[in-house]
Amino acid sequence: MAFIEVENLSKTYTLRKKRAGHFSREKIQVKALDSMHFEVSEGEILGYIGPNGAGKSTTVKLLCGILTPESGTARVNGLIPWKDRKAHARQIGVVFGQRSQLWWDVPVIDSYQLLRDIYRVPEESYRRRLAELTEALALEELLSTPLRLLSLGQRMRAELGGSLLHSPRLLFLDEPTIGLDAVSKLQLRDFLQRENREHGTTIMLTTHDMEDISALCRRVLVLGHGKKLFDGALPDLLAKYDTQRVITLRYADGRSLPELPHGCAVSRDGQDHRIVYSPDALPTAQLMAALQAAGPIQELTVQSQSIDHLIAAMYREMDL
Query: Higher confidence at residue 318 or residue 2?
Result: 2
What would the pLDDT profile of 153-179 be if each residue is shown by its tens digit? 899 899 999 999 999 999 999 888 877
Give the end-to-end CA distance of the chain in Å, rounded to a whole number. Answer: 33
Question: Of 15-29, 31-45, 100-114, 130-144, which gets the smallest average pLDDT?
Answer: 15-29
- Categorize the per-residue pLDDT at 187 as very low, low, confident or very high, splitting at 50, 70 and 90: confident
* Residues 69/62, Cβ–Cβ less than 8 Å: yes
* Residues 180/153, Cβ–Cβ less than 8 Å: yes
Q: Please name the residues in contact with 65: beta carbons below 8 A apart, sequence gap of 6 or more.
A: 81, 82, 84, 85, 88, 89
Q: Assign residue 269 the CATH number of its domain.
A: 3.30.70
151 pLDDT more than 80: yes
297 pLDDT more than 90: yes
Question: What per-residue confidence (pLDDT) applies to 307?
Answer: 67
Give kind and range of the element (H or E) at residue 74.
Answer: strand 71-76
What's the CA dihedral at 285, 289, 295, 298 to 10 degrees?
A: 10
Question: What per-residue confidence (pLDDT) applies to 280?
Answer: 85
Q: Are residues 252 and 181 part of one domain?
A: no
What are the DSSP calls for 182-197, one per residue?
A: HHHHHHHHHHHHHHHH
SS3 224: strand
CA dist., res. 75 & res. 73, Å (int) = 7
Q: Are residues 295 and 228 part of one domain?
A: no
Q: Are residues 261 and 217 part of one domain?
A: no
Residue 311 lies in a domain: no
Work out whether strand 272-277 and strand 245-251 pair parallel, antiparallel, or are unpaired: antiparallel
Question: What per-residue confidence (pLDDT) applies to 97?
Answer: 67
Q: Are residues 205 and 265 part of one domain?
A: no
Question: Of 115-124, 125-134, 169-178, which gets the smallest average pLDDT?
Answer: 169-178
Phi, psi dihedrals of residue 273, rounded to the nearest 5°: -105, 140
Give the residue from 197, 200, 172 showing the smallest Cα distance to 76: 172
Q: Are residues 159 and 55 part of one domain?
A: yes
- Categorize the per-residue pLDDT at 225 as very low, low, confident or very high, splitting at 50, 70 and 90: confident
Q: How far, in Å, are 5, 43, 79, 248, 266 from residue 1 at the CA level?
A: 8, 13, 12, 47, 51
* Residues 50/318, Cβ–Cβ less than 8 Å: no
- Domain residues for the domain of 25 are 4-240
* Residues 311/222, Cβ–Cβ less than 8 Å: yes
Give kind and range of the element (H or E) at residue 135.
Answer: helix 123-136
Residue 312 lies in a domain: no
Question: Of 70-74, 92-96, 239-243, which gets the smallest average pLDDT?
Answer: 239-243
Q: Which of 187, 207, 240 is the last residue of a domain?
A: 240
Q: Please name the residues in contact with 70: beta carbons below 8 A apart, sequence gap of 6 or more.
A: 10, 11, 12
Query: Higher confidence at residue 281 or residue 319?
Result: 281
The CA angle 249-250-256, to the nearest 5 degrees, is 100
Q: Are residues 253 and 158 part of one domain?
A: no
Q: Are residues 224 and 75 part of one domain?
A: yes
Residue 316 lies in a domain: no
CA dist., res. 174 & res. 54, Å (int) = 14
Residue 314 lies in a domain: no
Q: Are residues 262 and 287 part of one domain?
A: yes
Q: Are residues 109 and 253 part of one domain?
A: no
Q: Are residues 162 and 69 part of one domain?
A: yes
Mean pLDDT of the chain: 89
DSSP 148: G
What would the pLDDT profile of 268-288 be if each residue is shown by its tens digit? 998 899 999 988 888 989 999
Q: Are residues 97 and 195 part of one domain?
A: yes
Residue 41 lies in a domain: yes
Q: Assign residue 105 the CATH number of its domain.
A: 3.40.50.300
The length of the chain is: 320
Give kind and range of the element (H or E) at residue 272.
Answer: strand 272-277
Q: Which of 187, 215, 240 is the last residue of a domain?
A: 240
Question: What per-residue confidence (pLDDT) applies to 119?
Answer: 94
295 pLDDT more than 70: yes
Q: Are residues 292 and 156 part of one domain?
A: no
Radius of gyration for the alpha carbons in the chain, expressed in angstroms and rounded? 23
Q: What is the number of domains present in the chain? A: 2
